[in-house]
Amino acid sequence: MQKQQDTIGFAVLGVCILLGLALLGYLLGHAALSYKQLDRSVTVKGLSEREYPADIVIWPIQYNVASNDLTELYQMLDGQTSQIRSYLRGNGIGADEISVSTPAITDKSAQQYGNDAQAQYRYTAMQTVTVYSTHIETVRQVMASLSELGKQGIVFTGDAYQTQTEYLFTRLNAIKPEMIEEATRNAREVAQKFASDSDSTLGKIRKASQGQFSISARDKNNPHIKKIRVVSTVEYYLSD
């Protein structure tokens, strides 16, 4: 009798174990399927690109004078600096927007190389008047008319690197949130199209990263118009 009870007990235990293993297998299979579905995703990029006018201009005006007398050289520098200041002020540029650098003087007789001993003038000087302004259009109008000063005997230097005009855009923090929102919205539209084409349902964002903002001139002829650009990379979950 005891032996029969033991046999029944082992049989029940075996059935329980089999049922437990079957349930465990089902749960593991379901979990693996859920994980696989959860692991499906699509990564897309969203772009936001806009144009804005620059808000600061830095305009260096560099000019040269030459003389065999050092005192006369400085007098020429002072005179031409005053001419340039007066011209700028008379054309709408404020006194606080104008600064003058220390002149760079070259004594060619002190140089021990080249053919400067045959130079017509012993001393040459270079000086820069810089305009730093938020009035972009006013400054650009003055730039276009600078030849009037050249007619008065002022010798301006060429398009050297150090005399290139700079246009700055400093309002990036004000437009960042709106552009990031636009880039993210653009990314979701692309992801939604992908999900629709693959008979999937677009889920929540799995991961997102914002690229760096870039600021560049719209083109070489309009450096005062800035192109602002940002690309956001977003990964979305997909499900059937």
Cα–Cα distance between 44 and 235 in angstroms, integer? 6
Confidence of residue 52 (pLDDT cuts 50, 70, 90): very high
Average pLDDT of the residues in 58-71? 94
Judged against a pLDDT cut of 60, whether residue 56 lies above it is answered with yes
- Do residues 129 and 102 lie in contact, with contact meaning Cβ atoms separated by under 8 Å? no
Strands 166-168 and 41-53 turn out to be unpaired
- Confidence (pLDDT) at 27: 41
Average pLDDT of the residues in 90-109? 93
What is the share, in percent, of the chain residues with pLDDT greater than 70? 78
Average pLDDT of the residues in 101-110? 88
Whether domain 40-55+169-240 has CATH 3.40.190.80 = no
What is the share, in percent, of the chain residues with pLDDT greater than 90? 56
- Residue with the bigger pLDDT between 3 and 24: it is 3
Domain parsing of the chain, residue ranges: 1-39, 40-55+169-240, 56-168
Which residue shows structure tokens 């054309």?
A: 91
What separation in angstroms does the CA of 221 have from each of 39, 51, 145, 217, 226?
Answer: 49, 15, 17, 9, 12
CA atoms within 13 A of residue 217's CA, in its CB half-sphere: 9
Which residue shows structure tokens 């690309």?
A: 231
Give me the CATH topology for the region 56-168.
Alpha-Beta Plaits (3.30.70)
Average pLDDT of the residues in 184-201? 89
User: Greatest CA span in the chain, whole angstroms?
Assistant: 134
Tell me what the pLDDT averaged over the chain comes to.
83
Cα–Cα distance between 47 and 229 in angstroms, integer? 7
- Single pTM value for the model: 0.74
- Confidence (pLDDT) at 157: 85
- Confidence (pLDDT) at 83: 95
φ/ψ of residue 113, rounded to 5: -140, 165
Cα–Cα distance between 148 and 88 in angstroms, integer? 12
Confidence of residue 239 (pLDDT cuts 50, 70, 90): confident
Confidence of residue 33 (pLDDT cuts 50, 70, 90): very low
**Tell me: the pLDDT tens digits for 106-145?**
988 876 565 545 678 899 999 999 999 999 999 999 999 9
Judged against a pLDDT cut of 60, whether residue 30 lies above it is answered with no
Confidence of residue 60 (pLDDT cuts 50, 70, 90): very high
What separation in angstroms does the CA of 200 have from each of 39, 99, 110, 187, 240?
Answer: 13, 63, 80, 17, 5
